[in-house]
Amino acid sequence: MQPDPVTVVEVGPRDGLQYESVFFPTEAKIALIDRLSATGLRRIEVTSFVHPKVIPHLKDALEVLHGIHKAPGVIYSALVPNLKGCLRALETPVDELALFVSASQAHNHKNVGMSIEDSLKGFADIARQALAAGRSLRGYVVTAFGCPYEGAIPLERVERIIEAYGELGAREVSLGDTTGMANPRQVGEVFARLGAEHQGLPLAAHFHNSRGLGLANAYAAYQAGCRVFDSSVGGLGGCPTAVGAMGNVATEDLVNMMEEMGAATGVDFDRLLEATELIKQTLGGELASFTCKQGRPAWNAP
């Protein structure tokens, strides 16, 4: 039986670049996103409207969104932390806004200085504005699989946040293992309990490779029915030689795994590597990705 296809959501230009040690020049960001638009990816998160003092690496959100060449059929999204960020984003041709809240009270307080409940309340205005402007909404549940401040996260809390996103009109919710605490057994159990959709809302899996378990967790989520996966081209955000490496699972590594298993991604591996070349030229050094060095397995070697 042919395994189900999957949807890959590229988050490198946002979740990856915000953690790199140097500023990725605006023109390089635009060139990178344009290359990604030619890979077959259908979803790209391109930037964030978090305050430039908090994430200086993405201070050029407006220029990036105005500079890219949107490809037909690709949905471009941006992260927004609050109504102000939302209104700035709505001045651009962005297709989708992504909201975020932690499943850990302690983490949400550290991250945005308020309780989970207050975050969700604040989303009401954003959702109204975004939907009225014809943009779609994606919700992130940060630290959904564990929090370095709180430890284990009750699944009921994750479910409650998913439901809140549903009421806001989101079209998908992404469950994030923000600090790489999840293990594949846990991930399998979480997705088995929640389902590929929770109360009609599709769930995505967002894994960081902090402890090398990103792909194992993605496999466990896939086995449990999840069909949408976030990843970062080149493994951006996780320099392999840096202590504290915490990048997302690399898009090309995820694509290789899924395609090797027979799960179609619609993404051209070689074109992804062209995007990683641009990253290497811009950042210097090696990337955290494995397959950008090794390529795909040679099953039809001469």
Contacts with its own copies by CB under 8 A lie at 3, 146-152, 179-181, 183-186, 209-216, 218-220, 240-241, 243-246, 250, 253, 256-257, 260-262, 285-286, 288-291, 293-294, 296-301
CB of 240 to its own copies, least distance (A): 4
**What's the token pair of residue 23?**
């500023």
CB of 116 to its own copies, least distance (A): 18
Beta bridge pairs of residue 248 = 208
CA gap 89, 81 in Å, rounded: 11
- Active-site pick, 86, 226, 239, 292: 239
CB of 131 to its own copies, least distance (A): 37
Do residues 103 and 153 lie in contact, with contact meaning Cβ atoms separated by under 8 Å? yes
DSSP secondary structure letter of residue 143: T
CB of 57 to its own copies, least distance (A): 22
DSSP secondary structure letter of residue 1: -
**What's the token pair of residue 35?**
């290359």
Closer residue to its own copies, CB minimum distance, 201 or 218:
218
> Any catalytic annotation for residue 239?
yes
Closer residue to its own copies, CB minimum distance, 100 or 219:
219
> 294 in helix, strand or coil?
helix
Instruction: Give the Å distances, CA to CA, from 198 to 83, 159, 191, 288.
Output: 27, 8, 9, 33
Closer residue to its own copies, CB minimum distance, 38 or 278:
278
E-assigned strand segments in 34-132:
43-48, 75-79, 96-102
Provide the residue type at 297 as one letter. Answer: P
Closer residue to its own copies, CB minimum distance, 54 or 152:
152
CB of 252 to its own copies, least distance (A): 9
CB of 20 to its own copies, least distance (A): 16
Q: Which residues of 261-270 are buried (b: 16+ CB within 10 A; e: fewer)?
A: eebebebebe
Closer residue to its own copies, CB minimum distance, 96 or 177:
177
Closer residue to its own copies, CB minimum distance, 3 or 5:
3
DSSP3 helix / strand / coil % (the chain, rounded to 5)? 45, 20, 40
CA gap 274, 130 in Å, rounded: 34
Write out the catalytic residue numbers.
Answer: 239
